[in-house]
Amino acid sequence: MTSLAHLATADGAATAATGVTAYAWLLVALPLLGAAVLLFGGRATDKWGPLFATAMSWAAFVVGFVVWLAMLGRDGEDRAAHLHLFNWVPAGSFNLDAGMLVDQLSVTFVLLVTFVGSLIHVYSIGYMEHDPDKRRFFAYLNLFVAAMLLLVLADSYLLLYVGWEGVGLASYLLIGFWNHNPAYATAANKAFVVNRVGDFGLSVGIMIMFAAFGTVTFAGVQQAAEGGAGEGVLTAIGLMLLLGACGKSAQFPLQSWLGDAMAGPTPVSALIHAATMVTAGVYLVVRSSFVFDHAPNAQLAVVIVGAITLIFGAIVGCAKDDIKKALAASTMSQIGYMMLAAGLGPVGYAFAIFHLLTHGFFKAGMFLGAGSVMHGMNDQVDMRRFGGLSGAMKITWITFGLGWLAILGVPPFSGFWSKDKIIEAAFIGEGWRPWVFGGAALIGAGITAFYMSRLFFMTFHGTKRWQTDGDDAVHPHESPRTMTIPMMVLAVGSGLLGLVLSLGGTFTHWLEPVVGGHEEGEHPVLPVWLLMTLTLLLVAGGVLLAWMRYWRDEVPQVQPTGSLATRAARRDLYQDDVNEGVFMRPGLHLTRALVFADTRGVDGGVGGLAALVGGTSSRLRRLQNGFARSYALTMLAGVVVILGAMWVIQ
Amino acid sequence: MPAMTVLSAPALATAFKPADVDYSAIAPMLIVIAGALIGVLVEAFAPRRHRHVIQVSLALVSLVAAFVVLVTVSADEAHRGGTLAQAVIIDGPALFLQGAILLMAALGVLTMAEKFGGQGADAFTPMGAAVPGSPHEAAALRAGLATSEVFPLTLFSVVGMLLFPAAGDLLTMFVALEVLSLPLYLLCGLARRRRLLSQEASLKYFLLGAFSSAFFLFGAALLYGYAGSLYLADIATAVRAANGALEGLLLPGVVLVLVGLLFKVGAVPFHSWTPDVYQGAPTPVTGFMAACTKVAAFGAILRVVYVGVEANRWDWRGGVIAVAALTMVVGAVLSVTQTDVKRLLAYSSIAHAGFILVAVLAFDRTGVSGTMFYLVAYGFTTIAGFAVVSLVRQGGSEASHLSQWAGLGRNHPVVAGVFAFLLLAFAGIPLTSGFAAKYAAFAPAISFGGRSGVALVIIGVLCSVITAFVYVRLIVLMYFTEPPAGEVVVAETASPFTTVAITIGTLVTLVLGILPAQVLDLAERSSQFLVK
Amino acid sequence: MSNPYVPLLFLLAIGGGFAVFSVGAAAVSGPKRYNRAKLDAYECGIEPTPQAAGGGRVPIKYYLTAMLFIIFDIESVFLYPFAVAFNQLGLFALVEMVLFILTVFVAYAYVWRRGGLEWD
């Protein structure tokens, strides 16, 4: 019970869980049970498995809802509860309990993950209806929900790491779900390996915490950080955590996997690669606010990463013709906004989470809409072959349109309430920072308006660029109810959630006990009304430009060559090429000799690093020549060197 | 002339005093020896067609009985301490490691017993002494002969392994080293298929093993010269007093003894035998060897380091730190280019030896418990892993080339799934024992290892990223790659023996990943070495 | 020159020098007239046996016999001091010795039953 005592003294906020909160472990257990039943039940569960998994996910939502209600019943200061699960690693000096921290932040995530997750389970029933392996699919979905809930409910970095790896694994399994297609398998592999780079950062960060503070619980680290730990240590921890966050949240420079991850089934893209998992990095930064608040340099790095990514993603989004990849670029960019907000410190934490929440709704809704379009168009993803679908798919058009208005930040839709606040917050500060970061956020809003409108118009408006007869005939039709109802629910969220939660600052007050309040009296360098007007003007400009080019004018069915900038953006601003040039080419030269069945398994920068290691490896391998005499000589040389070195040192 | 006084033989006048023997404390070893000797008699007198059944049951019964006795004995504190004139020291670490060895050896025997519907153990040649491809061999095969000697040989080896971490003096330790090694040399040469590779492995292992034994002996002699005694306790006293005239003998002695032991765990640069031997040896033997030898040898290293020469660790620590770093890096980097699954696992075992050394170098009780936990976690995973390797066949012989594993997940999802899980455990992914083990091993290094400990841990984490890449590539190969054209690679339907071994190994891997508390706690409680 | 090992080193040097000198002197000064008998392997002055089968290697059975000899040889090595000190050692040592011999006989039984003592 050491860590429990720790918590109590640390901030006085987390009290032992009682009542329904004591059953919070069910949140993880229920979906896990679902996954286990479906995976081990085998073919016997084929028939009712998907329904069972969906029920488990809804059950988790109900538990989360009840826990939330119970929390509302308590006063602001008493709302955080700590649930001790079991003594996890009880070995002397590194005692660690597994426990859950049920506070405002984690409950927000629990509600988001279980609600959106459950809707996507329902949607998948329709979407995956004809897939022979759908049982496995639902098992993985449940596994994902369980891991994600563990991630957000963990009370220590180590337990969070378990959930972190769990969602990575589930995402890997789901991206590669249609693994009969080698390209998809490659994408899965790339996602996994890039994520390992991020995970490496997280694990080193945890190790530094352990080395410096002797504890890895949130409460313990908070106590240490606030109790005057060295800024150098905190900066190191912060940078390592940021590296982890970059991997998971597809932030610069580890963003290259998200586009490829769109190979997975669309519900997966909606749940994991838009609404929940990719936001785990933001969660990590906000949860570690106590570290970043005391390490200004690491905090600055977070802002920079966020600003770069939001512009980067927006530019890439302008050039993509694949509807899912364009949405992925947009996700990257929106998470850039959240990262930026999270890096601003107490001013921004609440808005980061707020935007995360609204984004979860409208982006998931749009992904489901994209899936619905693909469903009706024979799995076509090229937007140049869409156009004028608004008539054929009314519900999809309206729900998608609501999401579009939300992401644009048009009042009174959700995005307006969250994104505008981030732009305002970015303009707070002194010196060059507000101008650079605020400017980036402002310009990003304009570009976002352009590419999202481009996407929307190319898909639903303008001329029809598809045939109902001939070789590639398609017959667009509205999707079944199981798919449209979740879309409608999410569309309602896209429309209203922001307004409801920001009335009287409800949401920011709600989060205040966890992330700290934003002090009154800090004002942006420009007046708020001016910022709002500027934003809306830029958005209107973006929409207008898109309208002229993609609705009014004819959209060519074949991709035009385009300017240099367009070509660069199409190729993800040469990210893979940079990776290839810097890491892979030199590595490849080293590994000419390396013949392996699966060299194409991993591409990009990851393959480059691997190739470098592989090159060293094949050189070292020559030492292993199979002659016992050489081996004996190696041993002898080793002994002589060690003895000699000791002699010299003495 | 101190040397001369030692050399002059003392008169026989002193009355003979029989050493007092705590028979209960050494009962587990006695039971296994008895099992082995009875096994030899079974070979001599039992009719050929019953031998397999008798030998397997005998081996299992003696191992399990020894384990039960061990558990009973360990409950009674009275049996702790030195016995047999301090030649054997039964303390927490010794009991813990002996228990681990017995359980893993039982799993190893189960995998060796696999017949795949044949007449004898499938992995072993019908006649070990026959020249490969000779008429003798063919005749033996036709006659349905079987080398059921492998089971007594395994038991003999287990005896050595049980004694190794419990040895109180360097001579006993050397005897244990030889007792565990000699049967292993033989076992390595008994593979049924690819006989030449197997015999080569056996010979290499023997030659290099003898070479390393010489290092150990030489080191022991130097330490004897330094301390005037072979007892680790006396050596420790002498090191602490540090007033010997022969101070120059200490450091070379320590280094050479450690070289002999590091050879057994496959630490770089004494690792060269590992890939060749792991590849050539019959797969179940490889699994047994990889798991149990490592446990025993690390037990011995712990005892030498923590009991014997801990006091002057600042003098020799640097060398072992270098070895640990080198071991992790070379093991991880070389595993990248392997094309044979057994060699791949061999390099992975080298890297794991490096990870364990990191825990050893913490010089704290938690380092001992971390090492012991890692050994248990790694051992069970390894035995199960090699058992799975032995199932995957093409045209009747093992398909150990990686390209043959392509697409295995399509045809045999369960086998491939289990193997993928075990690989994830090797990679140290959470919810597998590998993660808990890495945590248990690295945490003490960070807390007590000083700056070098932190550096080693960072190298270790980097190396685990490299090895994770290797394992993931193999998983990708199994699931996402088209199977090669031509003869189909199949996973044999295993008999209950192998199935039980794989199931237990996998379950332990899973349970230790989710709830490591019990075993960690046990390791923690058993981490105190006794000097006498 | 207080170190007791210095004379030993001298002896070693003188011995080595003598050996090198004798062999070298014979090689330099001796007459070289070869015939069949001189080039043959020397086997205690009698006619050498024909080459063993399989390319001049000694059959493995030879080693088997040699090893069996060593086992029983070592047994007697242990028996000798036991016999000398039998009076002082008493019953305990007798039991130990019987166990030891029994162990060796297990190996003997194995060799005998598996045909290790037959030469053909």
Find the range with the poorest average confidence among A58-67, A493-502, A610-619, C35-44. Answer: A610-619
Best of C74, C110, C113 to substitute, by most chain B Cβ atoms within 10 angstroms, is: C110
B329 touches chain A (CB under 8 A): no
Contact B16 C88 (CB under 8 A): yes
Find the range with the poorest average confidence among A106-115, A584-593, B253-262, B470-479. Answer: A584-593
B-contacting residues in A 163-192 (Cβ below 8 Å): 165-166, 169, 176, 179, 182, 185-186, 188-189, 192
Contact A169 B255 (CB under 8 A): no
Task: Tell whether the model's pLDDT for residue A426 goes beyond 80.
Answer: yes
Q: What is the pLDDT of residue B152?
A: 95
Nearest to A92 among B252, B442, B524 (CB): B524
Contact C4 B3 (CB under 8 A): yes
Read off the pLDDT of each residue in A344-358 and give the average, rounded to a whole number: 85
Task: Tell whether the model's pLDDT for residue A435 goes beyond 70.
Answer: yes
Exposure string for A160-181, b = 16+ CB within 10 A, e = fewer = bbbbbbbbbbbbbbbbbbbbee
Give which of A331, A538, A379, A542 is closest to A457, Cα–Cα: A542
Q: What is the pLDDT of residue A518?
A: 59
B-contacting residues in A 613-642 (Cβ below 8 Å): 613-614, 616-618, 620-621, 623-624, 626, 628, 630-632, 634-635, 637-639, 642
Tokens encoding A543? 């929409």
Residue C9 placed within a domain: no
Q: What is the pLDDT of residue B1?
A: 38
Q: What is the pLDDT of residue A577?
A: 57
Answer whether the bond into residue B183 is a cis peptide, omega within 30°: no
Task: Tell whether the model's pLDDT for residue B287 goes beyond 80.
Answer: yes
Q: What is the pLDDT of residue A586?
A: 39
Amino acid A18 reads T
Find the range with the poorest average confidence among A201-205, B191-195, C61-65. Answer: C61-65
Residue C71 placed within a domain: yes
Residue C46 placed within a domain: no
Nearest to B44 among C88, C103, C114 (CB): C114
Q: How large is the ipTM?
A: 0.85
- What average pLDDT does chain B have? 89
Best of A196, A618, A633 to substitute, by most chain B Cβ atoms within 10 angstroms, is: A196
Q: What is the pLDDT of residue A574?
A: 58
Q: What is the pLDDT of residue A589?
A: 38
> Cα(first)–Cα(last) distance of chain B, in Å?
30
Range of C79's domain? Answer: 56-113
Nearest CA-CA distance, residue B20 and chain C, Å: 11
pLDDT digits (tens, 9 = 90+) for B289-331: 999 999 999 999 999 999 998 888 888 888 899 999 999 999 9
Give partners of A (≥3 CB pairs < 8 A). B
Q: What is the pLDDT of residue A445?
A: 86
Residues in chain B within 8 Å Cβ distance of A247: none
pLDDT digits (tens, 9 = 90+) for A202-230: 888 887 887 778 788 888 888 888 887 77
Read off the pLDDT of each residue in A435-447 and give the average, rounded to a whole number: 86
Q: What is the pLDDT of residue C53?
A: 54
Residue C98 placed within a domain: yes
Higher-pLDDT residue of B442, C37: B442
Nearest to C107 among B4, B40, B45 (CB): B40
Find the range with the poorest average confidence among B9-13, B401-405, B450-454. Answer: B9-13
Find the range with the poorest average confidence among A285-289, A548-552, B257-261. Answer: A548-552
Query: Which long-range contacts (C-beta less than 8 Å, at least 24 apart) are formed by A496-499?
Result: A496/A414, A497/A357, A497/A358, A497/A361, A497/A414, A498/A354, A498/A358, A498/A406, A498/A412, A498/A413, A498/A414, A498/A415, A498/A416, A498/A417, A498/A418, A499/A412, A499/A414, A499/A417
Find the range with the poorest average confidence among A514-523, B88-97, B273-282. Answer: A514-523
Instruction: Assign A119 a pLDDT band (cuts: 50, 70, 90).
Output: confident
Instruction: Assign A557 a pLDDT band (cuts: 50, 70, 90).
Output: low
Question: Which residues on neighbouring strands pair with residue A550, listed in sequence order?
Answer: none
Contact C109 B12 (CB under 8 A): no
C34 touches chain B (CB under 8 A): no
Residues in chain A within 8 Å Cβ distance of B318: 645-646, 649
Q: What is the pLDDT of residue A14?
A: 64
Answer whether the bond into residue A560 is a cis peptide, omega within 30°: no
Task: Give the angle subtended at the CA of B49 by the CAs of B47 and B51, to the nearest 5°.
Answer: 70
Share of chain B above pLDDT 70, in %: 96
Residue C99 placed within a domain: yes
Residue C40 placed within a domain: no
Residue C37 placed within a domain: no
Best of C106, C111, C113, C118 to substitute, by most chain B Cβ atoms within 10 angstroms, is: C106
What pTM, to 2 d.p., does this model score?
0.71
DSSP codes, A550-609: IIISPPPSSPP---HHHHHHHTGGGHHHHHIIIIIHHHHHHTTT---TTGGGS-HHHHHH
C87 touches chain B (CB under 8 A): no
Instruction: Assign A565 a pLDDT band (cuts: 50, 70, 90).
Output: low
Instruction: Assign A588 a pLDDT band (cuts: 50, 70, 90).
Output: very low
Chains B and C are in contact, defined as 3 or more C-beta pairs closer than 8 angstroms: yes
Residues in chain B within 8 Å Cβ distance of C60: 129
Q: What is the pLDDT of residue B360?
A: 94
Task: Tell whether the model's pLDDT for residue A367 goes beyond 70.
Answer: yes
Read off the pLDDT of each residue in B338-345 and give the average, rounded to a whole number: 91
Report the residue count for chain C. Answer: 120
pLDDT digits (tens, 9 = 90+) for B56-94: 999 999 999 999 999 999 998 888 888 888 999 999 999
Q: With contact defined as beta carbons under 8 Å apart, do B96 and B275 qualify? A: no
Contact C103 B37 (CB under 8 A): yes
Best of A602, A642, A649 to substitute, by most chain B Cβ atoms within 10 angstroms, is: A642
Task: Tell whether the model's pLDDT for residue B3 goes beyond 50.
Answer: no
A-contacting residues in B 123-162 (Cβ below 8 Å): none
Residue C97 placed within a domain: yes
Q: How far apart are CA A14 and CA A22, in angstroms?
A: 13
pLDDT digits (tens, 9 = 90+) for B229-256: 999 999 999 998 877 677 888 889 999 9
Task: Tell whether the model's pLDDT for residue A196 goes beyond 80.
Answer: no
Residues in chain B within 8 Å Cβ distance of A598: 406, 473, 476-477, 481
Q: What is the pLDDT of residue A243?
A: 87
Please compute, for residue A42, the number of CA atoms within 13 A of its CA located in the half-sphere on the CB side. 3
Residues in chain B within 8 Å Cβ distance of C103: 37
Nearest CA-CA distance, residue B503 and chain A, Å: 14
Number of structural domains found in chain C: 1
* Residue B170, CA distances (Å) to A367, B18, B227, B254, B258 in order: 69, 21, 12, 11, 11
Instruction: Assign A41 a pLDDT band (cuts: 50, 70, 90).
Output: confident
Q: What is the pLDDT of residue A108?
A: 87
pLDDT digits (tens, 9 = 90+) for B370-395: 999 999 999 999 999 999 999 998 87
pLDDT digits (tens, 9 = 90+) for A122-163: 888 888 877 777 888 888 888 889 999 999 988 888 888 888
Task: Tell whether the model's pLDDT for residue A371 goes beyond 80.
Answer: yes
- What average pLDDT does chain A have? 78
Count of CB atoms situated within 10 Å of the CB of B500: 16
